[in-house]
């Protein structure tokens, strides 16, 4: 996933947007033209974040949609992640939101809860959900409504560099049976066997997704359906205890290096990408970038500890969601565009795995033969863990975008021994509850 936005005023501008909607009524924002059923040309605005490559892929999909629907013109609005959320918040506050909005799970409840998004469950005659992966579709549900549908899916993995394992004389683990103790032991052994030239693993303690997995392994959740924290403080303390065992055993770097790595965005600069670490936790769709950086075909492993519990921790994460503005003048046409992006072979062929492997199971299967080796490996991993995935975590609460910063900051305090795991867990819960109200 991408970096994090500045969010100091998001709640405020969304509140203004909601007031404007209630005073001025819906249906006067978004695209131009007359409502569905007229002979007028309809214009839809479709917003997303990402690179120039994503823009090219998306514009190819838009062109295919316009070819099928010559009476609908789709105007793309794209920007880098760092500026996307500020611009979207401003647009929503001004009653000028795009018709189709790309959403990220941490902000879905915020926009839905403030009345900025259309309940897509009311458009199921237009948006076909029958082929979407049921293990991820629920991630777009908020308070009984469906406010986002997943573009595609990822899952969290432990990447392993087989060449560095061989260099250390350590066998790759059986990821269907390994435990958290095995993970720590193996990492420590690799560092010791290479005299510190290679670390067994990168530090993971500043990672929200991994914490979610550990919580789920304990029958808990990061958040419940009401958006409230739903895990035991001891679980979070255990998360950081594991991290300290790696640090103290040499399996992960000392605090200074881990702090530097925590804010390294480029795969080429990470310890895994520079062949200085044999294992690291990332999303499955980063395989190509990380393998390319390291010059080695990395292997995807399940997180440790999955078999020890009745409930496995791993889950399918939507790469992003498609939502529709509550103020669009053309809800039916906007829903048609969302349906096209999810289900039409022309859209899938254009976008492929750029927004995660397709959420449409039929389309995911169809394109396997045309994927590159990294995309095939990712698809195989998703297929392998499918029988173990229980459900999708509930949508995060309003304010959850701040949690990324909180957990990273407190992780540094733990690594430098300025806070104990128990103290950091208590402070984390206090700060997150304040951030999420």
Note the pLDDT of residue 179.
96
Phi-psi region of 144 (alpha: psi -120 to 50; beta: other; left: phi over 0): left
- 284-318, pLDDT tens digit by residue? 988 988 999 999 999 999 999 998 777 899 999 98
Helix (H) or strand (E) holding 411: helix 403-415
Residue 30 has pLDDT above 70, yes or no: no
Helix (H) or strand (E) holding 434: helix 421-436
Asked whether the beta carbons of 322 and 338 are under 8 A apart, the reply is yes
Asked whether the beta carbons of 178 and 434 are under 8 A apart, the reply is no
334's CB contacts (< 8 A; 6+ apart) are: 30, 31, 44, 99, 100, 118, 324, 325, 328
Does domain 155-316+395-436 sit in CATH 3.40.190.10?
A: yes
Parse the chain into domains and list their residue ranges: 10-151+319-366, 155-316+395-436
Closest residue by Cα to residue 164 from 189, 198, 203: 198
Helix (H) or strand (E) holding 300: strand 299-301
Asked whether the beta carbons of 32 and 328 are under 8 A apart, the reply is no
Rounded distance between C-alpha atoms, residue 276 and residue 294, angstroms: 9
Note the pLDDT of residue 8.
37
Q: 237: helix, coil or strand? A: helix
Lowest mean pLDDT among 103-112, 378-387, 388-397: 388-397
- 138-166, pLDDT tens digit by residue? 889 988 899 999 999 999 999 999 999 99
Q: Which whole-number Å values give the CA distances from 286 to 202, 267, 357, in the listed order?
A: 16, 9, 12
211's CB contacts (< 8 A; 6+ apart) are: 222, 236, 239, 407
Query: For 10-151+319-366, CATH number?
Result: 3.40.190.10
pTM, full prediction: 0.81
Closest residue by Cα to residue 182 from 195, 173, 171: 173
Domain 10-151+319-366 and domain 155-316+395-436 have a common topology: yes
Four-CA torsion 30, 26, 396, 318, nearest 10 degrees: -40
Residue 344 has pLDDT above 90, yes or no: yes
Residue 392 has pLDDT above 90, yes or no: no
Q: Which of 22-31, 112-121, 387-396 has the highest mean pLDDT?
A: 112-121
DSSP-assigned beta bridge partners for residue 356: 354
Helix (H) or strand (E) holding 333: helix 331-343
Phi-psi region of 30 (alpha: psi -120 to 50; beta: other; left: phi over 0): left
Rounded to the nearest angstrom, the gap between the alpha carbon of residue 356 and the centroid of all alpha carbons in its chain is 9
Rounded distance between C-alpha atoms, residue 148 and residue 144, angstroms: 12
Rounded distance between C-alpha atoms, residue 124 and residue 120, angstroms: 7
Q: How many CB atoms lie within 10 A of CB 67?
A: 9
The pLDDT > 70 percentage for the chain reads 91
Residues 159-198, buried b or exposed e (16+ Cβ, 10 A)? Answer: bbbeebbebbebebbebeebebeebbbbbbbbbebbeeeb
Average pLDDT of the chain to the nearest whole number: 88
Burial class (CB in 10 A: 0-12, 13-18, 19+), 25: exposed
- 172-205, pLDDT tens digit by residue? 999 999 999 999 999 999 999 999 999 999 998 8
Residue 35 has pLDDT above 50, yes or no: no
């Amino acid at each position: 996933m991408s970096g994090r936005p500045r969010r100091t005023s998001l709640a405020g501008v969304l509140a203004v947007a909601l007031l404007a909607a209630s005073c001025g009524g819906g249906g006067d924002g978004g695209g131009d033209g007359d409502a569905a059923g007229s002979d007028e040309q309809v214009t839809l605005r479709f917003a997303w974040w990402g690179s120039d490559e994503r823009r090219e892929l998306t514009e190819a999909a838009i062109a295919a949609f316009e070819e099928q629907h010559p009476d609908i013109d789709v105007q793309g609005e794209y920007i880098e992640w760092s500026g996307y959320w500020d611009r979207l918040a401003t647009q929503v506050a001004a009653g000028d939101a795009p018709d189709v909005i790309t959403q990220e799970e941490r902000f879905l409840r915020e926009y839905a809860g403030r009345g900025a998004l259309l309940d897509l469950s009311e458009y199921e005659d237009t948006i076909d959900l029958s082929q979407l992966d049921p293990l991820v579709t629920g991630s777009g549900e908020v308070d009984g409504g469906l406010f986002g549908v997943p573009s595609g899916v990822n899952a969290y993995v432990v990447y392993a560099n087989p060449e560095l394992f061989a260099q250390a004389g350590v066998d790759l683990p059986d990821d269907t049976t390994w435990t958290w103790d095995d993970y720590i032991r193996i990492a420590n052994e690799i560092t010791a066997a290479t005299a510190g030239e290679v670390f067994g693993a990168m530090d993971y303690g500043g990672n929200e997704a991994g914490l979610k997995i550990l919580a789920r392994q304990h029958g808990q959740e990061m958040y419940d359906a009401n958006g409230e924290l739903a895990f035991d403080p001891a679980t979070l303390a255990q998360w950081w205890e594991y991290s300290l065992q790696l640090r103290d055993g040499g399996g992960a770097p000392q605090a200074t290096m881990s702090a530097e790595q925590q804010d390294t965005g480029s795969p080429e600069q990470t310890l895994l990408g520079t062949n200085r670490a044999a294992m690291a936790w990332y999303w499955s769709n980063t395989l190509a970038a990380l393998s390319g950086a390291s010059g080695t075909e990395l292997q995807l492993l399940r997180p440790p500890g999955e078999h020890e519990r009745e409930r496995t921790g791993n889950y399918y994460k939507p790469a992003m969601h498609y939502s529709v503005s509550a103020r669009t003048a053309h809800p039916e046409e906007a829903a048609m565009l969302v349906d096209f992006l999810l289900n039409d072979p022309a859209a899938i062929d254009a976008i492929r795995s750029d927004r995660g492997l397709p959420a449409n199971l039929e389309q995911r299967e169809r394109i396997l033969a045309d994927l590159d080796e990294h995309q095939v490996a990712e698809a195989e991993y998703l297929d392998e863990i499918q029988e173990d995935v229980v459900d999708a975590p509930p949508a995060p609460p309003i304010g959850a975008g701040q949690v990324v910063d909180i957990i990273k900051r407190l992780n540094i305090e733990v690594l430098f021994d300025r806070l104990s795991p128990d103290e950091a867990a208590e402070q984390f819960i206090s700060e997150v509850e304040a951030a999420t109200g």
